[in-house]
A and B are shown apart, each in its own frame.
Chain A
């Protein structure tokens, strides 16, 4: 008997905010500084130090919440979450408990077939911990091993975004994480660098018989450092749980660690008497009131978000794939798209040029998108002259290169580089006459019904004109001259 299983997945995402200063003190938020140089009494937990919250961090978590369609709490408070750990200087973390800044939102995943809406339980504000580095080999001699502690990261503003268990597959989980990253990047509130840990994921995975409402035993997986490993880890875990269910090694509630190299999850030793965090309201801080005016100010400053943008592009006639690609393109290219289209250029052609040839040119020349010099009016003219047949589409690529190298407008480049197509029928008639004279065999074949020699003859016309003939026109005129239809 093979039961069909369904996975129930929730994702917790931690995003470090890229504010200038830390959550509760004036130390710099900076990746890669010398150890323990961005520290002060507050983020080192020295006796007597007190936290004062960073207004910008609160505004940024509000922006994240609003972008995720969340409610912003009218009143929110910080709690102390108590646990002892060497890289947690106060041995409590200032976090939030029952009244987070944002709650009850959702995120629609980019459409690939059917739309998936993932509920957002909450987004709360907290402080990051310091960093432990374990040194010495894992040998038997304990004394040989030690932990090096750097508190530069201690107190960096951290937003925790908790999804509802609405995700069903590893692919969806990956799409969710990627979409979330695109949003925080769009908001400009985080570097969201997975490899530096400024964006981190944990996944809660359980399985249940398909169609059931029961929740299975939940396993938390940690240590996924890329989108790929998030997807692999979840896939692995689902499979592991299916195999374990019913066998002797039944699924237990635990935290498991993803081992990227081995491609498996390992059980982590459970904490002795763990997780009685003794939350209570942080008495060193006062409540935050996020009134309607404040929320409206933040809402009005929100940029266009990826999902809205894709929707707009689709409405402008782009297909899903180019809408997606353009939406994920650098801001410079997106604004070029908007400006060019506003001049009346065709939306699809504009998107294709920008995501295709322009992007390729940037890559080839190693140019930063921000340094791109391309006048929207030049791109529009390029699209027009291709459309009008003034230049062929292959010649157009060369025209673009000329434009990007600063040689002038599309027409100027086309003329200067001698790329204008011959679309003057009298000039072309002369060339065609020569070609037909030179290839009597081909003419004969055609008249015997061999239609495809037209292609050969067009090629000869193109050769004779060094590629400047309008192939469409040449084709028409050849057929006419050959006495066909």
Chain B
């Protein structure tokens, strides 16, 4: 089956800033892998959609209780850029 891949679109969705050359390489690899993966489409019938969990349990909740938060200095020590208790990033291009 021929697989149609808009690789630039996929890379944009995944926020991967790849070069055109890299994109071409990945595109052909993805095509090979997807051709193999497309074998899942051979499954016939309409099996019941199940929970992913093999033990099939549900309702795993926690009580509404507070737990200690992290020390801010420890957290910010890992940040590429921080200022006045905030993480810092460049401006957003797009508005959400």
Q: List the interface of chain B (C-beta within 8 A of A).
A: 9, 12-13, 15, 51-53, 57-70, 72, 75-76, 83-92, 94-96
Contacts and interface: CB of A to CB of B under 8 A. Distances in A.
A55 interface: yes
B48 to A, nearest CB: 13
Nearest to B94: A271
A276 B13 contact: yes
Given A37-B72, A133-B86, 20 more contacts: A20-B64, A28-B69, A34-B72, A39-B69, A40-B70, A53-B60, A54-B61, A54-B62, A54-B63, A86-B89, A145-B90, A147-B88, A147-B89, A147-B92, A148-B88, A149-B86, A150-B85, A257-B95, A272-B12, A278-B13
B89 A146 contact: yes
A20 B76 CA distance: 25
B66 A272 contact: no
Contacts of B60: 52-53, 285-286
Determine chain A's interface SS by DSSP, over half rule: loop
A151 B85 CA distance: 11
A356 interface: no
7 contacts: A36-B85, A55-B63, A56-B63, A149-B86, A150-B86, A274-B94, A286-B51
B91 A146 contact: yes
A41 B74 CA distance: 12
A148 B61 contact: no
A167 to B, nearest CB: 25
Contacts of A35: 84-86
A156 to B, nearest CB: 12
A28 B66 CA distance: 6
Given A21-B66, A147-B88, A287-B51, A36 B61 contact: no
A145 B85 contact: no
Contacts of A474: none
A25 B63 CA distance: 10
A48 interface: no
A452 interface: no
Interface residues of A, number: 58
> Nearest 7 A-B pairs (CB), nearest first?
A26-B67, A56-B64, A55-B61, A148-B86, A149-B87, A35-B85, A287-B58
A462 interface: no
A57 B61 CA distance: 10
Interface string A276-300: 1010010101111100000000000
Given A36-B75, A85-B92, A19 B57 contact: no
A19 B65 CA distance: 9
A142 B61 contact: no
Contact of A52 (B61, B69, B88): B61
